[in-house]
Structure 1
Amino acid sequence: MKASDLSTNEYSVFNATYIKAADDKALMEGLIDGLLQLVNFVKNIPVEKLEYRYAEGKWTIKDVVLHMIDTERIFAYRALRISRGDKTPLPGFEENEYVPFAFANSRSIESLLAEYQNVRKATISFFESLNEDQLLFFGTASNTAISVRAIGFIITGHQNHHLGIISERYL
């Protein structure tokens, strides 16, 4: 199954952007390919660009990388809860409130990439452990219905979305 095969009732309108950005790959292929894609992409960014802001109040590339890590953790946690049959509605999060407390620019890019790799490997391991039934489980996150498999595609598409923004606006 690919992201384009998902039913629109499996994710919110807000997440449609990320579903579209997931490319036309199977879920595990997208997660696995994305691991090396991000690492190679970031390693090729000139060091002087890593703390560059393309406009006042915008995030740096380091901020964006840590945002992708934080978001992946949150979405993987949502997938875990839903895949285990937890029906508790899960709250949203305000990404802009996370960045000032993440201190990404005080960290080396190597430490950010190491953390990203650990998080993505954990995400891959988690999704590999799920059976077909679990991938179809639905829960509520950010006041909307979402399937576990849609969350996996959102993780992939969210990363692709931000790599596109970095390419267009920072480099």
Structure 2
Amino acid sequence: MRSTALRSDEYHHYYQPYIDVLGDVELMEMLQKQYVNFPQFLASIPQEKLHYAYATDKWTIAEVLMHIIDSERIFQYRALRFARNDQTPLPGFEQDDYIPYSGAEKASKESLVQQYQAVRQNTIALFSTFDDETLMRSGEASGVKMSVRALGFCCCGHQKHHRNIIRERYL
């Protein structure tokens, strides 16, 4: 399944930047590639930068990393529900409300890496069970229709989007 095969009616336009940042990639290859490369990127971040925010009222790097982890958990849960053809509309989540309770500022870089690896490993395991028919299933989250495959690409694109922001604004 390639990202360029996604149709615009499979996700809300809010997620377009996460799809666009990927270019033309295959879903399982990208999930696996990021599983290896992202921890290497995290290891390159100086420890003293972990709790740095580039401006007032912006998240620290640790908070951005926890946001990536939390969002993938949510995308993964949605994908599971939609893959199983659960048509119950799912509520949205307010990302800014999660951060104060995330424990990111107390977490070590090693802990954040371990959490990321565990979550991504589970995403890979989950998506590896989906056939083409399953990937095309969809459901409603935050009042918007989303396909299972779009959620997989959102996991990848969301991570890459925030990695780019960390590189550009924090390091």
Q: Determine the structure 2 residue equivalent to 1:132.
A: 132
Q: Determine the structure 2 residue equivalent to 1:39.
A: 39
Map residues 108-127 of structure 1 onto 2, 5 A cutoff: 108-127=108-127
Partner of 1:124, secondary structure, is helix
TM-score of the superposed pair, with normalisation by structure 1: 0.98
Q: Gaps (5+ residues) in structure 1?
A: none
1:94 corresponds to 2:115: no
Q: Determine the structure 1 residue equivalent to 2:57.
A: 57
The runs of at least 4 consecutive aligned structure 1 residues that moved more than 6 Å come to none
For residues 33-76 of structure 1, what are the alpha-carbon distances to aligned partners after superposition, in whole Å with 9 as ceiling and x for unaligned? 11112101010011111110100011111101111000000000
Identity of aligned residues (%): 47
For residues 137-157 of structure 1, what are the alpha-carbon distances to aligned partners after superposition, in whole Å with 9 as ceiling and x for unaligned? 011111111100000001100
1:107 corresponds to 2:107: yes
Backbone CA RMSD of aligned residues: 0.8
Partner of 1:15, secondary structure, is helix
Partner of 2:14, secondary structure, is coil
TM-score of the superposed pair, with normalisation by structure 2: 0.98
Tell me the CA shift for residue 22 of structure 1.
Answer: 2.4
Q: Determine the structure 1 residue equivalent to 2:19.
A: 19
Partner of 1:14, secondary structure, is helix
Return the letter of the residue paired with 1:86. D
Q: Determine the structure 2 residue equivalent to 1:169.
A: 169
Aligned residues between the structures:
171
Partner of 2:13, secondary structure, is coil
Partner of 1:59, secondary structure, is coil
Q: In structure 2, how many angstroms separate the alpha carbons of the residues matched to 1:109 and 1:32?
A: 21
Q: In structure 2, how many angstroms separate the alpha carbons of the residues matched to 1:107 and 1:3?
A: 33
Q: Determine the structure 1 residue equivalent to 2:29.
A: 29
For residues 80-123 of structure 1, what are the alpha-carbon distances to aligned partners after superposition, in whole Å with 9 as ceiling and x for unaligned? 00000100011110000000001201111101100110010000
Map residues 61-76 of structure 1 onto 2, 5 A cutoff: 61-76=61-76
Q: In structure 2, how many angstroms separate the alpha carbons of the residues matched to 1:34 and 1:141?
A: 25
